[in-house]
Structure 1
Amino acid sequence: MSAKQFSIFILAVLSTFYINAQQKESFDIFLYNAPAGFVVKDKTSKLFLNKAEGKNYCQLFLYPAVTGENDAEKDFIKNWDFFARNPSQKINDPLTKETDSVNRWQTILGAAKGVYGRQAFAITVSTFTKENITYCVAAVFTDKKFIPIAQEFIASVVPDESKFKPEENVIAVENDLTENTTLVTKNSITKFNTNFDDGWQATALPDYVKVTKAVTEVQLHYTDKALDDARPNTIDAPEYYWSKYVEPYFTVSNLQKWSGVQYPVIYHMQANAVEKQTGKVCFVALKIVYSGGARPIVVVAANQNSYQQLFPHPNDIDRMLNYNKFAVTTNDITGTWTGGGGNGVEYYNAYSGTYAGMSAVSTADEFIFNSNGNYQSTHNSATMNNGGTKFSGIKYNGAYAVTDWEINASNRVSGKTKKFNTQLIAVKGGFLLQLTDSDYTPLVYTLFRTK
């Protein structure tokens, strides 16, 4: 796609903004038209529509409306850096950029070309800002035949400003926090700040858990399946996540990648750095820990010496994941929480090598904590052994009491009260509730809220 085609694309979008009032689908505060043949890949944290035709594809994204900067240019820069800027894919500043104003909405549309693996693609980011409301629509496509589809989709998006509720986007922080921290209300908890005995302090943020001690900051980024799936096979994990979590925020020099031979493989990079926003000189490192997806950990230290004193070996960074731990209150756990799991074993004859069957077990657990201090829990299991399946289940009802790190539930096994060591774990879009049996620590319930 040439610069001229980019300009035509942008002008076409600007000229058709809001012309289509017949909407069929909704997301967040928006109504929109879903293009024919596109598959919904995500409709939780964002709307993600995808269409693949052989080696060509078109991806359309609509992000929820948020409280902006009251400045379309600042909002656009933030969106471009978040969605598009990726030096590893040869995307830096927009190749072309246009601004306009429609119905008091300030609009900025930027576009660029990149390379994903060995395939060239075009990327566009559209920012719409009206006073303190802003939202972003983006498109990625590999063939110019998708241009009119992207144009029509972007132009079809219509926000309902009456549905935007700023008070649901941010909440006040605890008085003992030293800086203003923004949290998502629907995913927030009462005690989102934890002070540990060793001097580290953890704060749950929408995109990561920030752990600080003196002048050192550690960012525990949440697993992001969409980001993981988007990594080309031609780009190694450290470079990929470095381009997402470090390059947009730091100017680096003397970049080093871990090259030692060890299993499990160590994914680690480090460099001298200057923070782009503040100009502060620092040292930055990235470690990728794979556990249920990639868990990028970014360390920002004053200098390399102070960094190495804290983390002499890259694997020493892994322990920081234990600081994703937050206390509970009755308000936090009131509702329905579910979880479960399973595993299996296949058997083979030791002499002939022939298949000899398998056994497997799966479990499903549900806890309902009511605001009146009563609870109920259901635990079902299915055990399969050589083709036969046996089902079992048990229910408990009783009262519960909550302290910061414990839940005591009455009327458990043999009518006794059970103490669960309890914590909340921050994840993308919310929190998990972890209950560990104090009498049998291998029994751990990891639950997510359903109601």
Structure 2
Amino acid sequence: MKPILLLIACVLSLSANSFAQTTETFDIATYRPPAGWKRQEKPGAIIYATSDESKGTYALITVRASGESVGNPAQDFESDWQEFVVRQFKVNARPEIEPERTAAGWKIITGGAAFQNDLGPGAVLMSTYSGNGRKFSVSAMFNSRDHLPAIEAFASSIKLKTGPGKQLNATGENQQAQAVGNRSGAQPPVTQFAGEGYTFATSNFDDGWNAAIKSDWVEVTKGDTTVLLHYGITMTDEMRQDLSNSYWNKIAANKYTIRNLYPTNYSVLKDFPYYFVQADATEKATGKSVFVSFRVIPKNGTAYCYEIVTPTKDSFSRQFPSMDTIENLSGYNRFAIGKSDLIGSWQAGAGAFTQYYFVSSGNYAGMNITVSNLKYVFVNGTSYRTEVKAVTNNVYASEKEVGRYIVGNWDISTTDQKGKLSNFSAWFEATKGGRILHLLNKKYSSEHYLLGKDR
């Protein structure tokens, strides 16, 4: 199973042995390290590690030196996630983020994601504490719930210094806990894809729209309207300061001579802004006068940019009367499947973690984690096999299936070794340099797999 980064503030009922352990202090934190774990000092960090070779399990806790807060807990979290999870641990999955909490004067954000590496499926979580002009992060990585009690006990012992001579427990007092929610979701594939060799690179839709795969976007056209569905771009702290204009300037503005740039528009109907720019412009490539509309849709740390080019503002308004009609354009990133396109191995990872909080204080009180990996192997155009691996509540499960399949341009039917027939709607979504395979069960719409090709 995969490593899991755990930065959590939790309040649990701990054993007497846990309280008997010697405390240690590093930077602004005092805590009780897990008994029997190996300690290692690194520049700016203390690492505690353990492993069980007979079971093939391991765990890693890292306490990191505090840094200067930017004054925004969400930005503090994102910055540390990119530095400690993405850059240092090479985990590219975007986190599912829990609502911000406050304890002992610290604002705490926790996020987690499932991912897959050579060691199997896993999950990664991180919590960042922001307050008093500082930010502080603790992390844990593990591949078995066997180590979770020690990790939670460690997190519950953390006390953070809030000022000279003053130190407060960042997790509050021990009270009755209650589960308040379950955040889960399949993670996007993180494997690399082949960029060439697929049968179809264009789609013609019944409503008159046509789509074509380009190197940096999917180009969707209808009459004199052109839409560029730019492939997802990872958001940076700098870009987050002004998503609309940052991405407009980065990927669109240089194509045009701008005559009039309209003010950024925001939603007044929903609880989040629309990141939206419009301009009267002249296309540098053609010399044509056009009206350009540009929307940024952020999802799980990735920016999806929609660039819409119409002859006039009135033409745009007629075709796109609401923001929802713009967001629905993503449905045109859909391409048919050729029989030979499937041959190879396709994988998807998924994860869920349930967070528990104390009713009276709102403080963190532990979690449950489930991670899984699904692999489809299409062998020779007619036969297939699947393997599902999952770990839930310290129980490992694996299920295999073999059978035969039939491919249509927009459908896949599988018949397993027991004669069970499954019918899927199927299509490719274009990405930068490759494809994502969508399989949507026609009978059970909740069964929707997004698979990346790994070989």
**Shorter-normalised TM-score: what interval?**
0.5 to 0.7
Task: Confirm or deny that 1:244 pairs with 2:253.
Answer: no
Which letter does structure 2 place at the counterpart of 1:258? N
Following superposition, the deviation at residue 245 of structure 1 comes to: 2.3
Q: Relative to structure 1, is the Cα distance of residues 350 and 333 closer, same or farther in structure 2, using a 3 angstrom cutoff?
A: same
How far off is 1:327 after superposition? 0.7
How does 1:170-319 map onto structure 2 within 5 Å? 186-225=195-234, 228-229=235-236, 231-232=238-239, 235-256=241-262, 257-261=264-268, 262-292=270-300, 293-319=302-328
Alignment CA distance shift 1:345-1:220 (3 Å)? same
Change (3 A) 1:213 1:350: same
Match of 2:403 in 1: 398
- Asked whether 1:358 is paired with 2:367, we answer yes
Q: In the aligned structure 1, how far is the partner of 2:307 from the partner of 2:373? A: 35
Listed one character per residue, the Cα deviations across residues 56-78 of structure 1 (whole Å, up to 9, x for unaligned) are xxxxxxxxxxxxxxxxxxxxxxx
Alpha-carbon shift at residue 246 of structure 1 (Å): 2.0
- Do the aligned residues in 1 keep the contact of 2:339 with 2:381 (CA within 8 Å)? no
Change (3 A) 1:349 1:243: closer
Q: Which amino acid aligns with 1:409?
A: T
Among 354, 357, 374, the alignment partner of 2:383 is 374
Equivalenced residue count is 262
Equivalent pair of 1:348/1:356 in contact (CA under 8 Å): yes
SS of the residue 1:410 aligns to: strand
The structural deviation recorded for 1:349 is 4.0
State the TM-score, normalized to the length of structure 2: 0.54
Q: CA deviation at 1:360?
A: 2.2
1:267 maps to amino acid: Y
Structure 1: gaps spanning 5 or more residues: 1-53, 55-183
- Structure 2 distance, partners of 1:332, 1:428, is 17
Q: Quick one: which of 421, 427, 430 aligns to 1:426?
A: 430
The Cα offsets for residues 226-284 of structure 1, whole Å up to 9 and x where unpaired, read as: xx337455x51111111122211111222111144442210001011110011011110
- C-alpha deviations, 1:302-336, integer Å up to 9, x for none? 11111110112334210001111011011111111
Alignment of 1:67-82 (within 5 A): none
Tell me the secondary structure at the aligned position of residue 389 of structure 2.
strand
Q: In 2, are the aligned partners of 1:250 and 1:274 still within 8 Å (CA)? A: yes
Residue 290 of structure 1 aligns with an amino acid whose one-letter code is P
Deviation at 1:411? 1.0
TM-score scaled to structure 1, two decimals? Answer: 0.55
The letter for the 2-side match of 1:428 is K
2:340 aligned with 1:331, yes or no? yes
**Residue 416 (str. 1) matches residue 423 (str. 2):** no
Q: Is the Cα–Cα contact under 8 Å of residues 287 and 314 in structure 1 kept in the other structure?
A: no
Q: What is the distance in 2 between the residues matched to 1:285 and 1:351?
A: 48
Higher helix share goes to which structure? 1
Q: CA deviation at 1:354?
A: 6.0
* Higher RCO, Cα 8 Å, sep 6+: 2
Check the 8 A contact 1:344/1:359 in 2, yes or no: yes
* In 2, Cα distance between equivalents of 1:315 and 1:211: 17
State whether residues 266 and 273 of structure 2, in contact with CA within 8 Å, keep that contact through their aligned partners in structure 1: no
CA distance in 2, matches of 1:380, 1:273: 53
Deviation at 1:191, TM superposition (A): 1.3
Q: Distance in 2 between matches of 1:353 and 1:271?
A: 46
How far apart in 2 are the matches of 1:188 and 1:307?
36
| In 1: Cα distance, 2:344 partner to 2:400 partner | 17
Contact 1:187 1:431 in 2 (8 A): no
Residue 361 of structure 1 aligns to a residue whose secondary structure is: strand
Q: What SS class does the counterpart of residue 239 from structure 1 fall into?
A: helix
- SS state at 1:241 partner: helix
**Structure-2 separation of matches of 1:251 and 1:288:** 21
In structure 1, what is the Cα distance between the partners aligned to 2:422 and 2:453? 21
> How far apart, CA to CA, are the structure 2 residues paired with 1:208 and 1:285?
16
Structure 2: gaps of 5 or more residues: 1-66, 68-192
CA distance, structure 2, for counterparts of residue 218 and residue 238 of structure 1: 17
Distance 2:432 2:421 in 1: 33
Shift of residue 351, structure 1, vs aligned partner: 4.9
- Per-residue deviation, 1:438: 1.7
Distance 1:186 1:224 in 2: 17
Cα contact 1:188–1:430 (8 A) shared by 2 = no
String of CA shifts for 1:69-109, please: whole Å, max 9, x gaps.
xxxxxxxxxxxxxxxxxxxxxxxxxxxxxxxxxxxxxxxxx
The Cα offsets for residues 185-210 of structure 1, whole Å up to 9 and x where unpaired, read as: 84342111111111111111111000
Secondary structure, counterpart of 2:416 in structure 1 = coil
- Alignment deviations for residues 129-183 of structure 1 (CA, whole Å, 9 cap, x no partner): xxxxxxxxxxxxxxxxxxxxxxxxxxxxxxxxxxxxxxxxxxxxxxxxxxxxxxx
Residue aligning to 1:443: 447
**Which contiguous aligned blocks of 4+ residues in structure 1 show a shift greater than 4 angstroms?**
351-356
| Conserved 8 A contact 1:383-1:391 | yes
Letter in structure 1 aligned against 2:319: L
Instruction: Provide the C-alpha distance between the structure 1 equivalents of 2:331 and 2:200, rounded to a whole number of angstroms.
Output: 17
Question: Structure 1 354/213 Cα, relative in aligned 2: closer, same or farther at 3 Å?
Answer: closer
Cα 1:372–1:309 shift into 2, 3 Å = closer
Shift of 1:355: 4.8
For the residue of structure 2 that corresponds to 1:268, the secondary structure is strand
In the alignment, the residues of structure 2 paired with residue 304 and residue 411 of structure 1 have an alpha-carbon distance, to the nearest angstrom, of 54
Shift in alpha-carbon separation, 1:358–1:298, aligned structure 2, 3 A: same
